[in-house]
A and B are shown apart, each in its own frame.
Chain A
Amino acid sequence: MSTSATQEPQLTKAQQRKMRRFDNPWLNPKLLWGAAILIGIMALGLIGRLLWDTELVFTGSGPLKLPPIGFENLRGQSGITDHPLGTDGAGRDVLSLLIVGAPNSLYVGLLASLIGMSLGIFLGFSAGFVRGRVDDVIRVLSDVMITIPPLLILVVFQSAYGDVNLTMMAVLIAAFVWQSPTRLIRAQVMSMRESGYVQMARLSGASTFHIMFKEMLPNLIPYLFGSFIANVTTSIVTAVGLEVLGLGPQRVPTLGRTIYEAINAGALIQNLWWWWGIPTLFLALMFIALLLINIGLDEVSNPRLRKL
């Protein structure tokens, strides 16, 4: 008993916590918080559909420019429980805009990033494994494409074609988010193919496919996740950018489009803050969650960062 009492104080509480945290790097608080916020947003989209009337996203379904509960607008109207977050300039319910719009933004981001990631895995492995001419082409192409801001090409595209749907927009954005995973995987594959365990696998007669997906890919997972999340952010930023310029899907409610309409209607000067502010804060929350996940993943792949 006395020996354990003398041993104990050497480890402070914080150190103990740190030791425990190192047991499983995937359970670090940043990652968990980020994931929790994202899941919360998705849950709002899913559960909200069941509990709240999504028909209210259509124009004229409520009184115009009604403030959230507990506030008063310039005409002296106060918020009512029918529209707890207020209504916009066309009488659409802000809460139902969030319920319908937020999952749309996430959907575009996830789909675009997923397609980009698949392309990146394919091209990166091809470049790293086949090398030679294939590698040259892929490397130069990704060097070139990484410089071109997706927003501008998409602006040209959408102003020429008019309306697009969410999936189409995700596919278009995906054409610009394959480069960073490609470069990342290529570099890693290049360095890994010379490493002992890959040589070993090759000597024991494993197929290229086996080496790629069974030997190499598991080691890449933290990097891939990190790159995936970073691309989700880029895709959502691009999508929101297009929507704020008045492009993007015209018939589906999105958070970016709501902000676009609010700016155009002069919501800033009329102090209709709930109209643009709530979607803005919601998007901000989404980006913060993605950032937390990204930092958390960095800590998984680079243990030295776990200090803070």
Chain B
Amino acid sequence: MAFPNKKRHGGSADTSILTKEGPVARIPKGYILNRLTTLLLTILIAATLIWLIPRLSPVDPADIMLGRMSAAGGTVADSEQILATLQERFGLNDPLIVQYLKYIRNVAVFDFGLSTASFPTPVAVLIANALPWTLGLMLISILITFFIGNLLGALMVWDHSPKLVRVAIPTAMVFTSIPPILSGLLLMWLFSANLGWFPLTGSYGLMVEPGWTWEFTQSVLYHGFLPALSIVVVTFGFWALGMRGLMITVQGEDYIKLAEAKGLRPRFILYRYMIRNAILPQITAFALKIGLLIAGQVLVERIFAYNGMGKLLYDAILDQDFPVIQGVSYVIILMTAISVFIVDLIYPLIDPRIRHEAE
């Protein structure tokens, strides 16, 4: 990620990667196949759970929709007939296995049916509108945290860091066990409600026309700052803590002693010798943590009323809009699973040892 796969510590093994058909060809097929199976299995199990759970519950989605209609218009004529039509339309009269297979087929092409709350709109459209916001916020906050966290974690161990850093970081770390929703609330209260420096809610200004204009970009960045900050302040410590442990291990290695003995500059040793070697297991930790990060972000979006998946999910929960709840949950799990898959694929490229093990 922040430390791309170029120029590893200059051994001859590296040049061979570059001379052959590119690095991708070097990942063993068995490894890719293994990871791919896990990915598909994850998606299948998640989809099945999401389908199965509401099926086991006594609540009938058609009934809820009818309830909403009667709440809006007083009484509904021919309610029995409408109920029957709706049940037919939702395919609730088919045998369960047929329903399941249909569902799996639909989910594979992102067809989650129609939203029951904003009726004729397909769930896929609602999700497609919310997804870019979530992805954007996630990418930015995760990259920033990963970078800051690892750097600070490394500085905590490094002998040459300023004293201030070594005292300040452990203090700041205390806050990193807090879920982002709590930090979000505190930041929102401080900077939006009290100081008025940032907008309270929303993902862009009311007066701004969405489009690729400077004005819109500015508004988006301005509105996205606090949600991103509330994720960053409480997650960087996880990486810093992990990095600290890894750096302590690396620090004791002989090659560091050798590098010092050679008289290399401490900063050079820090970046090229220590961080480079310590960062690897952090990337695996990333794969394990990503699900929680995304779930945390969903909640941050909900309190900031940010236009992403979190708000969509929250609104759907309020409206008991099952298709949307299912769709959002599925897409978020899919995002998590794909991110893990990508990390797993990148990992052997960065760490040749994994390649050899797999071979």
Structural contact, B333 and A152, CB atoms closer than 8 A: yes
Q: Which residues of B, 295-350, contact A by the 8 Å Cβ criterion?
A: 295-296, 298-299, 302-303, 313-314, 316-318, 320, 322, 325-326, 328-329, 332-333, 336-337, 340
Structural contact, B333 and A148, CB atoms closer than 8 A: yes
Q: Say yes or no for B101: interface residue by CB 8 A criterion.
A: no
Q: Say yes or no for A140: interface residue by CB 8 A criterion.
A: yes
Structural contact, A263 and B249, CB atoms closer than 8 A: no
A149 in contact with B193 given A159-B322, A308-B156, A308-B170 (CB within 8 Å):
no
What is the distance, in angstroms, from B342's C-beta to the closest C-beta of chain A? Answer: 12
**How would residues 245 to 258 of chain A score, 1 for a CB under 8 Å from any chain B CB and 0 otherwise?**
11100000000000
Structural contact, B53 and A149, CB atoms closer than 8 A: no
Q: Which residue of B lies closest to A241 (CB)?
A: B299
Q: How far is the CA of A296 from the CA of B56 in the complex (A)?
A: 44
Q: Say yes or no for A168: interface residue by CB 8 A criterion.
A: no
Q: Which residues of A, 258-292, contact B by the 8 Å Cβ criterion?
A: 259, 263, 268-269, 271, 273, 276-277, 280, 283-284, 287-288, 290-292
Structural contact, B50 and A153, CB atoms closer than 8 A: yes
Structural contact, A276 and B329, CB atoms closer than 8 A: no
Please report whether the interface of chain A is mostly helix, strand, loop or mixed according to DSSP. helix
Q: Say yes or no for B28: interface residue by CB 8 A criterion.
A: no
Total contacts A-B at CB 8 Å: 155
Structural contact, B38 and A153, CB atoms closer than 8 A: no
Residue numbers in A under 8 Å from B164 (CB-CB):
none
Chain B, interface size category, equals 35 or more
Structural contact, B325 and A305, CB atoms closer than 8 A: no
A152 in contact with B329 given A237-B296, A271-B193 (CB within 8 Å):
yes
**How would residues 172 to 202 of chain A score, 1 for a CB under 8 Å from any chain B CB and 0 otherwise?**
0000000010000000000000000000000
Q: How far is the CA of A216 from the CA of B57 in the complex (A)?
A: 43
Structural contact, A263 and B303, CB atoms closer than 8 A: yes
Q: How far is the CA of A156 from the CA of B328 in the complex (A)?
A: 10
What is the distance, in angstroms, from B153's C-beta to the closest C-beta of chain A? Answer: 11
Q: Say yes or no for B283: interface residue by CB 8 A criterion.
A: no
Residue from B178, B244, B298, B337 within 8 A of A147 (CB atoms): B337
Interface locus among B13-21, B71-79, B183-191: B183-191
Structural contact, A155 and B317, CB atoms closer than 8 A: yes
Q: Which residues of B, 186-225, contact A by the 8 Å Cβ criterion?
A: 186, 188-189, 192-194, 200
Structural contact, B182 and A305, CB atoms closer than 8 A: no
Q: Say yes or no for B292: interface residue by CB 8 A criterion.
A: yes
Residue numbers in A under 8 Å from B132 (CB-CB):
none
- Please list the 8 inter-chain residue pairs (A to B) with the smallest Cβ-Cβ separation, ordered nearest first: A291-B177, A149-B291, A152-B329, A160-B54, A160-B57, A149-B295, A151-B295, A287-B177
A residues adjacent to B (C-beta < 8 A): 140, 143-153, 155-157, 159-162, 180, 233-234, 237-238, 240-241, 244-247, 259, 263, 268-269, 271, 273, 276-277, 280, 283-284, 287-288, 290-292, 295, 298, 302, 304-305, 307-308
